[in-house]
């Protein structure tokens, strides 16, 4: 049976192993500097999800991506499509409740756009409350951050948005669509800060301020794409696929625990 959810027939869904982990990538359509396309987060998120399906074909189903996210703070850059957070939570929960209705018991909301992180955390929690099934959320860079740290060439602040990490992976997947001649380093990390850190791999912030993107980045980039190369991108992607596969296997092994109402 294929792992591609959209290619199943309804009879195959009826007969499917409901303990396969259903992976739903939620991404964004937004500016990624002058050097990368709007669909970066979807391309990378689906490369991870499809890579997991290749590594563990009998253990997952991969849903079509939701290619829009929570990113109104990007709208000063042409091309951005933003979804209100309440709408996105409700939309994702409608998908997860549909899956639960059909008998699926294990879902992974796989995030590939930074600001979706709290949205998918809430959607996963809400799914558990409403349906009782297992619903996990994860941003794929968090799953492999220690390995990114071992592979990266950029300094702290170099991997945030359209920086080394995303540019290298997109370049590995579609070399013609990344134009590093147009890329500039926008390392906006303040080395003196104790609490703020938007680098995806190096630490993460203890406090969060998300400003209007156009007030902090002149061209939409946050990070250093100038050091990105396809070979490192391949290694980043492999690390993300391996760690996400490991997470899928943990999710498959989790017990479904009954509630006890103590009233």
Give the residues lining the site for Zn ion (CB under 5 A).
40-41
- Give the C-alpha separation, 123 to 128, whole Å: 9
**Residue with Cβ nearer Zn ion (100 or 200):** 200
Q: Closest approach of Cβ 213 to Zn ion, in Å?
A: 12
- The CB-nearest residue to Zn ion is 41
How is residue 82 written in tokens? 């933003």
**Are 62 and 49 spatial neighbours (Cβ–Cβ below 8 Å)?**
yes
60 CB-contact burial (10 Å; exposed 0-12 / middle 13-18 / buried 19+) = buried
- Give the C-alpha separation, 14 to 66, whole Å: 23
- H/E stretch holding 159: strand 159-161
Report the Cα–Cα distance between both ends of the chain, in Å, rounded: 44
**Residue with Cβ nearer Zn ion (51 or 163):** 163
**Residue with Cβ nearer Zn ion (28 or 108):** 28
**Residue with Cβ nearer Zn ion (33 or 106):** 33
User: Which positions ≥6 away from 87 have C-beta within 8 Å?
Assistant: none
Secondary structure letter of residue 29 according to DSSP: B
Q: Closest approach of Cβ 83 to Zn ion, in Å?
A: 15
**Residue with Cβ nearer Zn ion (45 or 51):** 45
> How many Å separate Cα 19 from the centre of its chain?
22
Q: Closest approach of Cβ 31 to Zn ion, in Å?
A: 9
- H/E stretch holding 240: helix 230-253
**Residue with Cβ nearer Zn ion (41 or 164):** 41
Q: Closest approach of Cβ 209 to Zn ion, in Å?
A: 19
**Residue with Cβ nearer Zn ion (100 or 109):** 109
CA atoms within 13 A on the CB side of 188: 21
Q: Closest approach of Cβ 96 to Zn ion, in Å?
A: 23
Q: Closest approach of Cβ 41 to Zn ion, in Å?
A: 4
Q: Closest approach of Cβ 28 to Zn ion, in Å?
A: 7
Q: Dihedrals φ, ψ of 21, to 5°?
A: -90, 125
């Amino acid at each position: 049976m294929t792992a591609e959810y959209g290619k199943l027939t309804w009879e195959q869904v009826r007969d499917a192993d409901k303990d396969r982990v259903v992976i739903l990538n939620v991404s964004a359509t937004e500016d990624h500097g002058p050097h990368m396309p709007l669909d970066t987060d979807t391309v990378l998120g689906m490369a991870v999800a499809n890579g997991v399906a290749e590594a563990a074909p009998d253990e997952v189903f991969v849903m079509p991506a939701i290619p829009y996210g929570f990113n109104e703070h990007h709208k000063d850059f042409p091309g951005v499509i933003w979804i209100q957070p309440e709408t996105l939570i409700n939309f994702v929960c409608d998908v997860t409740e549909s899956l639960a209705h059909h008998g699926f018991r294990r879902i992974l909301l796989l995030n590939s756009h930074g600001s979706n992180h709290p949205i998918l955390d809430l959607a996963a929690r809400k799914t558990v409350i409403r349906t009782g099934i297992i619903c996990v959320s994860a941003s794929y860079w968090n799953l492999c951050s220690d390995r990114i740290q071992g592979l990266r060439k950029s300094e702290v602040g170099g991997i945030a948005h359209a920086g080394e990490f995303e540019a290298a992976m997109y370049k590995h997947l579609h070399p013609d669509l990344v134009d590093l001649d147009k890329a500039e380093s926008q390392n906006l990390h303040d080395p003196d800060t104790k609490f703020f850190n938007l680098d995806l791999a190096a630490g993460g912030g203890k406090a969060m301020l998300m400003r209007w993107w156009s007030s902090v980045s002149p061209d939409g980039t946050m990070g250093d794409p100038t050091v990105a190369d396809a070979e490192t991108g391949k290694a980043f992607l492999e690390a993300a696929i391996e760690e996400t596969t490991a997470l899928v296997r943990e999710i498959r092994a989790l017990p479904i625990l009954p509630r006890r109402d103590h009233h």
